[in-house]
Amino acid sequence: MGSTRILARLALLVPAIVACSSGAAPTSTAEATSPLPSIAPLVSALRSVSPTVEVTPMPTSSPFTLSSTAFAAGAPIPREYTCDGANISPALSWTGAPAGTAALVLVVDDPDARGFVHWLVLDLPAADGGLPRGVAPGADPPQQGRNDFGHVGWGGPCPPSGTHHYRFTLTALAAPLGLADHPGGTAVKSALAKANVLGSVTLGGTYRRG
């Protein structure tokens, strides 16, 4: 019998025995003349049971995160990464891809411009890692798609007016997309919709010209 079941049964018996030992007045002559049971056996049993129960904690996975040294989440994207500056890609880093991840896909778009695509990076390694500042347009690897400016690689924020928001979405897949050459946003988003997605994380930034 397990220690937990023994303790539960003893917990039910002890109050009754303690009540009998408390000196309460008997309700009949038989009760008055019957010897009180000893609690010594119960005390011995309690002492024989380990007072501690070891609990093995369930393993926990690290959260899936995406960050940049160029800007904080929700903060403005510096000018050098936009069409008003050097127009180079910001450094990115990620950790905690879900178990079973075989590839990562990065999509950077502008929801304020109907999902205008600024960057596509395909089938990145699943291990913790990142992308350096200023990834060259033709770098291979990583495989980069064609942005909505019509160019391969990064196309920085260049809103016509007002403040726009930019989503850096990293998606974990159970298998690489396996698209050839430099696919555009429509092809990549269509392939992602059919893929076995294990998780995703989004880093947001803003930019306003002038």
- pLDDT tens digits, the chain, 210 residues: what are they? 444 444 345 444 444 444 444 444 444 333 333 444 555 554 455 455 545 544 444 445 689 999 999 999 999 999 999 999 999 999 999 999 999 999 999 999 999 999 999 999 999 999 999 999 999 998 778 999 999 999 999 999 999 999 999 999 999 999 999 999 999 999 999 999 999 999 999 999 999 998
CA distance 123 to 126: 9
**Three-class SS state of 148:** coil
User: Residue 138 has which token pair?
Assistant: 């033709």
Q: What is the pTM of this model?
A: 0.72
Find residue 105's DSSP bridge partners.
171
Cβ-contact 117, 148 below 8 angstroms: yes
